[in-house]
Structure 1
Amino acid sequence: MRCLPRLMVAPNGARRSQSDHPALPVTDAEILATAISCQEAGADGIHVHIRDVEGRHELDTGHYRAVLDQLCDTVPDMYVQVTSEAAGRYSGAEQRTIMQVLQPAYVSVALREMVREPQDWAQAQEFYEWATSSGVEIQHILYSPEDVQWFVRAIHEQRIPGTHHLILLVQGTYAHGSQGRAYLEDYLTELGKADGMSFDWMLCAFGQQETESLARAAQLGGKARVGFENSLWNMDGTLAKNNAERVREVDTAIKRAVQKTI
């Protein structure tokens, strides 16, 4: 059965730059160095965004292949996942085509971006079926309990094939951090309505409550994604020195949280 890494680092994302934090990795060399330091700090997976020469979010097959090859050589034991995020630059059709050409082992895909309008379902379903038949493992990004409802309905309707799915639940937003976030239990209640389905789920959380949220996810049987894509802050409110510091703190918090449940 397919499974996600225990602790994945998302070191840069599509939107933040070094003006937000000087240690946010932008160049390929910085991404590789961050992967090494985060693996040493406790991460067993990395969620990779690449940037163009101007530092902008990029989906480019040649560039991605070069970075993936370097990561395979540098951190061969890490689970390396690419993003298909649009970030305002790519259409759903472009996202699908780029991923079909790249054929990564692991990719994150937001349901909201694959199906922006009801008429997008035909192409989206073809993409999900292609991924299944090609051995490309999708981690489905769900931003709210309502997204989870939508996803569960789609798998029951067989628009998304399979009976076991990899999930990323998102708490909070770029704009508002953890303010107004939904309860994790509300997401899980909706997942529990998927009869005959199993899920390997992971949480990412925006804002200064990232560590607390990820520790809670571990207590409930989930996995964690941590890093500067979602938060620059440690649990005590201080600005983290780098991604490895965030990984180290969350790794410790998760181990403590799980120990309490034993």
Structure 2
Amino acid sequence: MTVAPTGAETAKEDCPQLPTTLEELVATAVECEAAGARMIHVHIRDDDHAPTLDLGRLTDTVDALHEKTDLIVQLSTGGSVHDPLDQRLKVLDAGPDSCSLTMGTTNFGDDVFSNPWPFITELYQLTQERGVVPEFELFDLGHVASLQRLLGKYGLPAGGKVHVDFVMGVPGGMPGTSAALVAAVAALPDEVTSWSATGIGRSTLPVMLTSLAMGGHLRVGMEDVLTLAKGVPVEANRQLVERAVEAAAVAQRTPLSAEEAWALLGLKL
């Protein structure tokens, strides 16, 4: 299970419980690891709680998370939808274990999340050179086809494993429905060794339950949803991890151990 605790869209003033400082993020990571999370998908904020890709802050964040947890540290190379491509490439300089690699441009609400093919291929080759394991983010079925094209041209990623995450329910991407997830999984290339699914907002529960039923993994967190139910705000990311663990128990699925999670991505703890 991956926890995505912060994201780049929600303002701290609108959600004071969102972990935006390094201290808050590390405390959240420790809680979520204890609850069953094994990877953390990281966006960071500056002193004004605004999204940033500052390399010093990213490096300090990676180091602090490695010091306090055994979580796989995955840095977002998407940043915010307004970050320039060259800054997004430099995220790898912070030394993460993993990074997100979105497989195509998508409408993102009223904005455009730009991921042109030259950027995708440059970032992918950098991950291979640095030994950073990419998680391929798929917002639409076309992104599945792009993944097959990428693997066919450039080969397997560092570690030899191919892990993807379906990000569903974003306005402009694929819907967060069971039918959409079934179709997307069926289209995956043979090279894929594991997959997870993320449901945004109201799609969180249907995507979670479908992924569990299909043998997939999960991503949860306040980046993706801020309520436990209508009118019930999330107070801590730990609650979302705990809910996912409870749902998994019903499906007779148990969280991986730290060693199993690292091995799943071709990494060593």
Coarse TM-score class (shorter-chain normalised):
0.7 to 0.9
The 3 A distance-change label for structure 1 pair 33 and 246 is same
SS in 2 for 1:138: strand
Indicate the RMSD between aligned Cα atoms, in angstroms: 2.7
Q: CA deviation at 1:100?
A: 4.1
1:154 alignment partner in structure 2? 150
Structure 2 gaps of 5+ residues are 106-112, 254-269
Q: d(CA) in 1 for partners of 2:150 and 2:209?
A: 30
Partner of 2:102: 110
Amino acid of the structure 2 residue aligned with 1:258: Q
TM alignment of 1:68-217, pairs within 5 A:
68-75=62-69, 77-96=70-89, 98-112=90-104, 116-117=115-116, 120-121=117-118, 124-156=120-152, 158-159=153-154, 161-162=156-157, 164-173=161-170, 183-191=180-188, 194-195=189-190, 197-217=191-211
Of the candidates 27, 45, 50, which is equivalent to residue 56 of structure 1? 50
What do the CA deviations read for 1:195-253 (whole angstroms, capped 9, x no partner)? Answer: 4x133111111113313321321221211000111111225763222211111011110
Identity between Structure 1 and Structure 2 (%): 25
- Separation in 1 of the partners of 2:168 and 2:133? 22
Give 1:130 shift: 2.7
Aligned letter for 2:37?
A: A
Structure 1: distance between partners of 2:173 and 2:101: 22
**Counterparts in 2 of 1:198 and 1:72: CA distance versus 1, 3 Å:** same
Contact 1:205 1:214 in 2 (8 A): yes
Q: What secondary structure is seen at the aligned counterpart in 2 of 1:198?
A: coil
8 Å Cα contact 1:174-1:230 kept in structure 2: no
The one-letter code of the counterpart of 1:39 is E
* Cα distance between partner residues in 2 of 1:13 and 1:167: 18
Letter in 1 for 2:91: M
Mapped to 1, the partners of 2:95 and 2:228 lie a distance apart of 35
Query: Aligned to 1:257, which of 234, 251, 254?
Result: 251
Unaligned runs of 5+ in 1: 1-6
Distance in 2 between residues matched to 1:223 and 1:136, nearest whole Å: 20
Of 131-140 and 222-231, deviating more is: 131-140
Task: Give SS of 1:20's match.
Answer: coil
TM-score normalised by length of structure 2:
0.80
Q: Distance in 2 between matches of 1:19 and 1:182?
A: 36
What is the TM-score when the length of structure 1 is the normalising length? 0.82
Name the count of aligned residue pairs: 244
Q: Is the 8 A contact 1:84 1:107 kept in 2?
A: yes
